[in-house]
Amino acid sequence: EIVLTQSPGTLSLSPGERATLSCRASQSVSSSYLAWYQQKPGQAPRLLIYGASSRATGIPNRFSGSGSGTDFTLTISRLEPEDFAVYYCQQYGSSPLFTFGPGTKVDIK
Amino acid sequence: QPQLLESGPGLVKPSETLSLTCTLSGGSISSGSYYWGCIRQPPGKGLEWIGSISYSGSTSYNPSLKSRVTISVDTSKNQFSLEVSSVTAADTAVYYCVRIRVATTSSYYFYMDVWGKGTTVTVSS
């Protein structure tokens, strides 16, 4: 089983700052099979990034994804008020077929 | 825009079976580019994949739940359904229906691009 670890658990930042979120896998993950989601309180998760670096439809270009192998990063270049949320990475490929990281909460400093 | 709507009882008694139906609007569940799946999120916790199904009925389940889970598809109704048997309080969660993109014209991916709003299921007597 591939375990995803996200760090930090909580990131306290101010609007306008840059956010860098890490997702580390216990085994190599194909870049095609790594995605990122945003979840706000009381809402369903929303797809941000797929294939490690491709933005989903309608996602602002301040969101970017990078990485390969076991280390992946989600970067928010300049935080907007609506970006304060929990972010999850997800991988496909090893039993269980889909696993999620525990999440990183980005909150307002 | 495709949308998924979950429906089912919000309260289930321990040892009984949780049943959830996911109805797709604005698209066809028979598309070969997608699988269909269920995700759950216990209160205050993270996301857990329960299982997924193709339009042809091929299923995959989380090994941690496999013995208790069945996912089926009804293409005539544009629906898929989840059953979790022998539920306990640990099955209390928000349950989401998702569309899983599996292929584009150029590559294979496996990500969840459409989510239902979720339905809260509480297991309690």
The C-alpha atoms of residue B3 and residue A67 are separated, in whole angstroms, by 31
Span B1-42, pLDDT tens digits: 999 999 999 999 999 999 999 999 999 999 888 999 999 999
Flag whether pLDDT at A36 surpasses 90: yes
Q: What's the average model confidence in pLDDT over A6-35? A: 96
Span B36-90, pLDDT tens digits: 999 999 999 999 999 999 988 999 999 999 899 999 999 999 999 999 999 999 9
Q: What pLDDT does B70 receive?
A: 98
Q: What pLDDT does A96 receive?
A: 80
Flag whether pLDDT at B104 surpasses 80: no
Of A77, A33, A41, the closest CA to residue A59 belongs to A77
Report the DSSP beta bridge partners of residue B50. none
Q: What pLDDT does B119 receive?
A: 98
Distance from CA of A99 to the nearest CA of B (A): 7
DSSP state of A15: T
Asked whether the beta carbons of residue B110 and residue A93 sit closer than 8 angstroms, the reply is yes
In 10 A of CB B26, how many CB atoms? Answer: 10
Distance from CA of A14 to the nearest CA of B (A): 24
Report the DSSP beta bridge partners of residue A29. A69
Q: What pLDDT does B55 receive?
A: 84
Contact indicator for B45, B103 with CB cutoff of 8 Å: no
The C-alpha atoms of residue A50 and residue A82 are separated, in whole angstroms, by 21
Q: Which of A50, A97, A99 is best to mutate for the B interface (most B CBs within 10 A)?
A: A97
What is the sign, positive or negative, of the torsion defined by CA atoms of A13, A105, B34, A34? positive
Span A37-53, pLDDT tens digits: 999 999 999 999 999 99
Residue indicated by tokens 């076991």: A70
Q: What pLDDT does B9 receive?
A: 93
pLDDT band at A69 (very low <50, low <70, confident <90, very high): very high
A58 CB within 8 Å of a chain B CB: no
Which residue of B lies nearest to A31 if distances are taken between CA atoms? B109
DSSP string, B19-49: EEEEEEESS-TT-TTEEEEEEEE-TTS--EE
Which residue of B lies nearest to A36 if distances are taken between CA atoms? B111
Q: What pLDDT does B51 receive?
A: 97
Question: Using CB atoms, which residue from A43, A47, A95 is nearest to B111?
Answer: A47
